[in-house]
């Protein structure tokens, strides 16, 4: 088995893990934006509209964060399954990929 290919597969999985973590942080950041907006706009701007919109924005923020966590956990599980398959590629597959 080509050790360079195994290393390349391992590094690709590590990059995928980092991208997954970055995506989780983006979901959390977006959710926090909605939480902050929903909780402060109703208090800062004296208007019935913002008081009514504040609660749904808080709920949306929590849902976005929950969605991000669920997607992160699902993808992390999938990545771990892929990690177990490193180095199990057949010689025919490797030759087909590198057009040999």
Tell me the pLDDT tens digit for each residue of 29-68. 999 999 999 988 877 887 888 878 888 999 999 999 999 9
3-state helix, strand, coil in the chain (%, to 5): 85, 0, 15
Tell me the pLDDT tens digit for each residue of 3-31. 665 777 888 888 999 999 999 999 999 99
Distance CA(1)–CA(29), nearest Å, equals 43
Distance CA(2)–CA(7), nearest Å, equals 9
SS3 91: helix
């Amino acid at each position: 088995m080509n050790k360079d290919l195994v290393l390349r597969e391992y590094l690709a999985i590590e990059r995928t893990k980092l991208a997954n973590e970055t995506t989780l942080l983006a979901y959390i950041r977006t959710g926090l934006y909605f939480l902050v907006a929903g909780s402060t706009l109703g208090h800062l701007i004296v208007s019935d509209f913002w008081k009514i919109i504040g609660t749904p924005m808080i709920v949306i923020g929590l849902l976005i964060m929950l969605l991000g966590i669920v997607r992160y956990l699902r993808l992390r599980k999938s990545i771990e399954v892929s990690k177990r398959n490193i180095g199990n590629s057949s010689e025919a597959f490797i030759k087909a990929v590198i057009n040999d």
